[in-house]
Structure 1
Amino acid sequence: MPPKAEITREKVLNEAFDIVREQGMDALTARNLAQRIKCSTQPIYSVCGNMDQLKEDVYNQAIDFALSNMRSYENEHNSPALNLGLGYLQFARNEKQLYKTVYLSGYKSFDLNQDKFIGEEMFTASMRHSKRLNKIDEKILRKIYLKLSIYIIGIATMINTDTIKISIDEASNMVTDMYEILLASENITRND
């Protein structure tokens, strides 16, 4: 008789992440996970405690994956902030279920008066690379970031759901135009 495969927390988390990546958060059940690992549900509960905690861990892993994915988009002609925004759009296009899990599932909600939004620190830090924004008050920078994020999320959602067909160049132009509009609304000109 072959030895039983050891069920570790890492193995369970990796398999759970793969289920969510392929099918979405709704597909993550103890039964589906057990079938995938080829075990009963008992070892899953033994190493993870409960499904709520496992889902929270998978959601956090999905956020980390999304942010890493966004950072990987590079175009030397773009600012770091624009590259992140375009990386966001690429993530929406290439990782359909993870995008839906992180941004459309309602799994976690954010009170923007109390919480930092997903990737906020990364995006605002990249915005500081712009000569126009490196000395702008933090509140104004956050306001620009949030408005731009909502715009990008709208485009990304339409890309993710195949509502629109748009090239990365077209999306880049749209995001760049909105970025300039938002800066102008705060009286931040190219000469600042």
Structure 2
Amino acid sequence: MPEQKVSREAVLDAALAIVREQGEAALSARTVAERAGCSVQPIYSQFGDMRELVRQLYNHARAWVAAYNREHECDGKNPFESNGLSHLRLARTERNLFHFLYLSPHMEATGFAEVYESVAIDGVQECIEDLGHLSPEAARELYLNMIVYTHGMAAMIACGSHFTDEELAERMDAAFRAFVCAVQS
């Protein structure tokens, strides 16, 4: 059998498409190979096994979400609001991917500081400093609290809850005001 020339990127893109459309449970060497238009041989030669493919797919999916966030960075009144809206939209429109990234053991976060470093977007903390007239430390604490709060709403959405955009915006605004008061005291 001749050697197949299928790039690592093509395999990861095929696996990502499967996760987005059908969820992680649909991933197998066979389904990825079919989607990539190859046999399973390139998958095993490039990744060793499915565990390694999924590990690298997690990082590939995170890069996809970073690009998604950049596409939506002007959807809100400021970078902070855009960041929260983007996370909620991802939960609504990309449920399978959201589950794979944030509702599975793949994230491997061991503490809130690690969560912050993993998901905080450049420029948002500075925006919070300006909005709340906060020190960098207080803004970081507020951003982390909003990450946790917004992720809770996003998880409910990803699991099938139906909230209007207005309800979500009201909750996010109320939480922001409460967290500003908490970090200022």
Give the shorter-chain TM-score range: 0.7 to 0.9
Whichever of the two has the greater Rg, that structure is: 1
Percent identity over the alignment is: 29
1:185–1:159 distance in 2 versus 1, CA, 3 Å: same
Residues in 2 aligned to 1:55 and 1:18: alpha-carbon distance in whole angstroms:
13
- TM-score, structure 2 normalization: 0.84
Q: Which amino acid aligns with 1:184?
A: C
- Find the residue that maps to 2:46 and give its secondary structure: helix
Give the aligned partner of residue 148 of structure 1: 146
Give the aligned partner of residue 158 of structure 1: 156
1:59–1:114 distance in 2 versus 1, CA, 3 Å: same
Retained in 2: the 8 A contact 1:89–1:152? yes
Instruction: Flag structure 1 segments of 5+ consecutive residues without an equivalent.
Output: none
Give the aligned partner of residue 180 of structure 1: 177
Deviation of 1:71 after TM superposition, in Å, equals 3.4
Deviation of 1:116 after TM superposition, in Å, equals 4.4
Give the aligned partner of residue 119 of structure 2: 119
Residues in 1 aligned to 2:173 and 2:113: alpha-carbon distance in whole angstroms:
28
Residues in 1 aligned to 2:37 and 2:182: alpha-carbon distance in whole angstroms:
57
Retained in 2: the 8 A contact 1:21–1:95? yes
1:40–1:75 distance in 2 versus 1, CA, 3 Å: closer
- TM-score, structure 1 normalization: 0.81
Residues in 1 aligned to 2:10 and 2:75: alpha-carbon distance in whole angstroms:
35
Residues in 2 aligned to 1:114 and 1:129: alpha-carbon distance in whole angstroms:
19
Residues in 1 aligned to 2:151 and 2:135: alpha-carbon distance in whole angstroms:
24
Deviations 1:3-52 (A, max 9, x none): 98632222211111111111222322212212333433222111233322
1:186–1:169 distance in 2 versus 1, CA, 3 Å: same
Retained in 2: the 8 A contact 1:127–1:134? no
1:144–1:67 distance in 2 versus 1, CA, 3 Å: same
Aligned residue pairs: how many? 181
RMSD of aligned Cα (Å): 2.4
Give the aligned partner of residue 13 of structure 2: 14
Residues in 1 aligned to 2:9 and 2:131: alpha-carbon distance in whole angstroms:
44
Deviation of 1:182 after TM superposition, in Å, equals 0.3
- Find the residue that maps to 2:163 and give its secondary structure: coil
Aligned pairs for 1:1-192 within 5 A: 6-73=5-72, 74-75=74-75, 78-112=77-111, 115-117=114-116, 118-120=118-120, 122=121, 125-130=123-128, 131-133=130-132, 136-138=135-137, 140-163=138-161, 165-187=162-184
Q: Which structure shows the bigger proportion of residues in helix conformation?
A: 2
